[in-house]
Structure 1
Amino acid sequence: MTPLRLYWWNAVPNFGDAISPVIVGHLAGREVRHAAPKDAEMFAIGSLLNVVRRVFTEGTPPDTRPVIWGSGALRAIRGDRLMGKVQFALVRGPVTASLLGIETDSFGDPGLLISDVWPAGGQRREALGFLPHHSLMDDPDTQAFVRAHPELTLIDPRDPADQVCEAIAGCRHVFASSLHGLVVADAYGVSNTWVDPKGQGRLKYHDYAASLGRDMRAPLPLDAVADHTLPDPDAPLPYQPAIDAARAALRRSFPVQLRQEHAA
């Protein structure tokens, strides 16, 4: 069987992008290989629709239309330029849907399914995790903050994806400026707080939060992390029903034609 051709961003190591082929392969039941955007059958995890827009032009033949499954926009995008050039199975959130002019009440970031692939190991949740955006790992403010707060466990998003997910699952709370630090924490039922992503666009965070009805209007400043009041680590996430609904929508919308039993 030919591998499924998936595009994911891999310019630098980043666990949030690296879990895309893991999750897609799990649902498809077949090997997944990285493909250039113009050759991809599917786009999944990531704010990839602006890339899709640049690549797929009006001349794209209908039989090469890739499937969009859980991707989102990074910035404003003209939806009419994409219609008929790609197949929308599901988008990440309502902000993306609105930009594209898609009427739907089903959304989901595929990262929410990572706990299906790598279940939590049952470890005690004691650590307070701090997971910066990958671009901030070498930032002087980040490094100074980590040195000043040894009570926090630094989780490096550039580490192997399975190790990062295991570390998140073992936390009682995660502070993250990485979007998929928040998404994966939600997948494992670990409470989490959005920390100022320092220069990163905020549309993707609001898109994800709106997909779950999360109150994520503004990020927590880095200097406010130490004094932040933590929720009960044993309490369910207040938006857990929305997570369950998004996970169901993701499973339901995964394209049948890309599953092992239907693929050529």
Structure 2
Amino acid sequence: MIDELVDAEVPGPVAVLHWNPHRPRFRGRVGRRLPLTAPVGNFGDLLGPEIVRRMRVLHGGADAPARPQAARLLSVGSILHFARDGDVVWGSGVNGRIPLDQYEDVRLDVRAVRGPRTAAFLAERGAAVPSVFGDPALLVPRLMPELAPGPAAARDDYVIVPNLHDHAAVARDRRTIDPRSPWRQVVGRIARARAVYASSLHGLVIAEAFGVPAVRIAARLEQDLKYEDYALGSGGDLLPVFPDLPTAFAHPRAGRRDFAPDLEKLMEAFPHDLW
């Protein structure tokens, strides 16, 4: 099922959109469970508001006094199907699981997109798209240096970062990181690993951002589009995709590819003018 719910956080007058719908949860004994709801908390989707906040701090910005929202910003995530007229896009991408008829014809202020697949998709719909590519999560090491491991940090030989829908299949492995864990914890463990095996897109993005070899494992429900969009948008080759962990382990050179994102250009494209 495709979700149609997105949260918004508001640093000053700008709503920073990100995917974090509430899902059913239950509490109590079997037969007397009380239905509750709780946000999904998928770590990659929660990075957007913090990246935006850090970008503003880096450039000397401070949160403006609360007032009615003047703009909506789409940054991290495959969330362009939530876009409305006048929204600003900085690093978002299209979602291959969303039917094309769910993308409305809207006028967007595009500053950067995740990659060329998204650029072509928007250009076909009449949007003016600059040649500025990159997932903003690539900026995490620059914006959050405290999450980088120190020289004496203990390192795992590898960790597994499943897509949200793949977690149950690998949850028993002690090397598996639950993508719903606090995002600082997830990023820290990825940064400390010597290799990352991931069906989570942002497991791959964060690994490569910190220089950790990233091996793509096929996701059960996700389409190739967003992975290819990211890989091409980060100035490199496509990431080979392996059907499962044993197959990936049999290829010791997997996870090493050309990788040259233009982070300066991505940072220059940040829409400071919204504030």
Identity of aligned residues (%): 33
User: 1:42 matched to which residue of 2?
Assistant: 73
Residue 2 of structure 1 and its aligned partner are, at CA, apart by 2.8
Contact 1:185 1:192 in 2 (8 A): yes
In structure 1, what is the Cα distance between the partners aligned to 2:129 and 2:70? 28
Q: In the alignment, does 2:202 pair up with 1:180?
A: yes
Q: In the alignment, does 2:157 pair up with 1:127?
A: yes
Contact 2:111 2:132 in 1 (8 A): no
Contact 1:45 1:109 in 2 (8 A): yes
Correspondence list, 1:228-247, <5 A: 228-230=251-253, 238-240=257-259, 242-243=260-261, 245=262, 247=263
In structure 1, what is the Cα distance between the partners aligned to 2:240 and 2:130? 22
May I ask how many residue pairs the two structures share in their alignment?
227
In structure 2, what is the Cα distance between the partners aligned to 1:73 and 1:132? 20
Aligned partner of 1:167 among 189, 196, 200? 189
User: 2:105 matched to which residue of 1?
Assistant: 81
**1:59-94 Cα distance to aligned partner (Å, 9 max, x none):** x5xxxx221000000137589923xx2200001000
The one-letter code of the counterpart of 2:78 is S
Q: In the alignment, does 2:134 pair up with 1:108?
A: yes
Residue 225 of structure 1 and its aligned partner are, at CA, apart by 3.1
Residue 223 of structure 1 and its aligned partner are, at CA, apart by 3.5
Correspondence list, 1:47-66, <5 A: 47-52=78-83, 56=84, 60=85, 65-66=86-87
Report the RMSD for the aligned CA atoms in angstroms.
2.6
Is there any run of 5+ residues in structure 2 with no aligned partner, and where?
1-10, 22-39
**1:129-149 Cα distance to aligned partner (Å, 9 max, x none):** 1000012212xx334xx54xx
Q: In the alignment, does 2:51 pair up with 1:16?
A: no
In structure 2, what is the Cα distance between the partners aligned to 1:80 and 1:5? 20
Q: In the alignment, does 2:236 pair up with 1:213?
A: yes
Residue 103 and residue 42 in structure 1: after superposition, are their counterparts in 2 closer, same or farther (change >3 A)?
Answer: closer
TM-score in terms of structure 2 length: 0.74
User: 2:88 matched to which residue of 1?
Assistant: 67
In structure 1, what is the Cα distance between the partners aligned to 2:211 and 2:121? 30
Residue 238 of structure 1 and its aligned partner are, at CA, apart by 4.2
Q: In the alignment, does 2:245 pair up with 1:222?
A: yes
In structure 1, what is the Cα distance between the partners aligned to 2:91 and 2:192? 26
Q: In the alignment, does 2:271 pair up with 1:255?
A: yes
Contact 1:177 1:194 in 2 (8 A): yes
Give the match's secondary structure for 2:195: strand
The one-letter code of the counterpart of 2:267 is R
**1:215-249 Cα distance to aligned partner (Å, 9 max, x none):** 325344334133231469xxxx6434x12x1x112
Residue 106 of structure 1 and its aligned partner are, at CA, apart by 2.3
Is there any run of 5+ residues in structure 1 with no aligned partner, and where?
33-37
Residue 256 of structure 1 and its aligned partner are, at CA, apart by 2.5
In structure 2, what is the Cα distance between the partners aligned to 1:250 and 1:111? 11
Contact 2:248 2:254 in 1 (8 A): no
Residue 170 of structure 1 and its aligned partner are, at CA, apart by 0.2
Q: Which has the higher contact order (CA 8 A, sep 6+)?
A: 1
The one-letter code of the counterpart of 2:132 is S
Give the match's secondary structure for 2:241: coil
